[in-house]
Structure 1
């Protein structure tokens, strides 16, 4: 993997590996235009699952939680992707230069498929070889390439204007609905608070008023309940589910599971 971050942002990130497939989760703090160059990626936002194969393009909306699974090509080749980070500073500058503003409320969707066109193909060719163009000293060129990506995106998908140039922070939302959807994401309380439009203190106060317990205790109960269901009813292995339901390591999961259910997860 190689990356170069201009001073200040934007940045372009090229990922390439061939050892094994990878899975994990992440918080997406900035919009990202991502090109699937080889292999595939499956993305789950807590409600929906989307699959992106070689040649697909997607736009990640900022302020979303995602679980992902990166898979090598069937022939055992390399996994490759290219991500253009559309950070707030870059978008503010672009908005001032070209006069883009939000005109209507947009759909708050974690990942939006973008239809591939010849313009994107030519754009990718202009970046090849990726690792050379991202070397130190090419910051000005990278900034121009990010700007070019933005111009192409807005020309081919003008509806994303209301997504890209919405600079508001998350507003106060339905806490119960958000937590039920996202309890399996292993992120900090501060992150949960931010995404629900609350300070940490307000988040904890609202949470305990709604659920009659602390956020930490509720999260563990929900994750253990889901793990119990997956292991007992679906035949899944503990080593395959502990990360999926939001635990950091297998030993902590096994300890908490045994404490809650009287037996270790491998004994079910």
Structure 2
């Protein structure tokens, strides 16, 4: 199993998976174009749930947290080709093509691309790179492939100009509401700060005002409280929930749980105990 193989450094990735895998955390720092070659991909954010089948294409917007479920289907492994549309490359394209956006992008953060022969042909042109990953591919060629992908996207859906070329910083959003919806994602505090439109110092300051404690401490307490609720009242097994709650390993979760509640999660602490 290889997942993923980097074909053009930082630009083109080929993902191959022989068994089902659920990834609770997917932080998309850059806008990303995905072709589902085989199998099924489900992407879920707080506002959208999208499932892709073989031959479908999805454009994912930058600065998002998402849950990814990668599923092989009958007689079919899971495979994707992923193009990372990095902001520095998009800025170069905007300058060369004299593309200007007059307003912030306000549409859906993830867009299924309608069937398009040109885009599908573009992905077919990438197959040789997938088959020969050991060949040295220059950054210049990577930029050319990104430029081609962008031009074909705009040809298929001209309304994507703001999606691709909105370079404004994330606006400052309701921190408390955001954290209560996204605490289970296992990402660094720096990413939470970025996604709420704050510097790290500003995020910590606002967080202390909202929750009365430091971010890392609150995240640990919140995740453990939710774990206890799921184990006691929903009969969930620790091995089934630790990843969904942002813990890196079952042993890490069990140790933190026992330190907090005095018993291991497998001992199913009762509500009356503290």
Q: Secondary structure at the match of 1:243?
A: coil
Q: Secondary structure at the match of 1:106?
A: coil
User: Normalising to structure 2: TM-score of the pair?
Assistant: 0.87
| Superposition RMSD in Å | 2.1
Q: What residue is the counterpart of 1:103 in the other structure?
A: 102
Distance 2:198 2:35 in 1: 34
Shift of 1:119: 1.8
Shift of 1:218: 1.4
Q: What residue is the counterpart of 1:255 in the other structure?
A: 255
- Written as runs of structure 1 = structure 2, the 5 A alignment for 1:222-237 is 222-237=222-237
Q: Secondary structure at the match of 1:4?
A: strand
Flag the 1:202–1:121 CA change in 2: closer, same or farther, 3 A.
closer
Q: Secondary structure at the match of 2:204?
A: helix
Flag the 1:64–1:137 CA change in 2: closer, same or farther, 3 A.
closer
Q: Unpaired segments of 5 or more residues in structure 1?
A: none
1:52 aligns with 2:73: no
Aligned length: 263
Shift of 1:186: 1.0
Whether the aligned pair in 1 keeps the contact of 2:8 and 2:137 (CA below 8 Å) is: no
Distance 2:143 2:208 in 1: 46
Q: What residue is the counterpart of 1:127 in the other structure?
A: 126
Distance 1:220 1:47 in 2: 24
Whether the aligned pair in 2 keeps the contact of 1:59 and 1:113 (CA below 8 Å) is: yes
Instruction: State the Cα deviation string for residues 29-82 of structure 1 (Å, max 9, x = none).
Output: 11111111101112222444322221221111111112211111222x321101
Flag the 1:228–1:161 CA change in 2: closer, same or farther, 3 A.
same
Shift of 1:108: 6.0
- Written as runs of structure 1 = structure 2, the 5 A alignment for 1:186-265 is 186-265=186-265
Flag the 1:111–1:15 CA change in 2: closer, same or farther, 3 A.
same
- Written as runs of structure 1 = structure 2, the 5 A alignment for 1:22-41 is 22-24=21-23, 25-41=25-41
Instruction: State the Cα deviation string for residues 120-164 of structure 1 (Å, max 9, x = none).
Output: 222222223342465314554443222111111011111211011
Q: What residue is the counterpart of 2:170 in the other structure?
A: 170
Q: What residue is the counterpart of 2:65 in the other structure?
A: 65
Q: Unpaired segments of 5 or more residues in structure 2?
A: 269-274
Whether the aligned pair in 1 keeps the contact of 2:101 and 2:165 (CA below 8 Å) is: yes
User: Normalising to structure 1: TM-score of the pair?
Assistant: 0.89
Shift of 1:109: 4.2
Q: Secondary structure at the match of 2:83?
A: strand
Whether the aligned pair in 2 keeps the contact of 1:33 and 1:59 (CA below 8 Å) is: yes
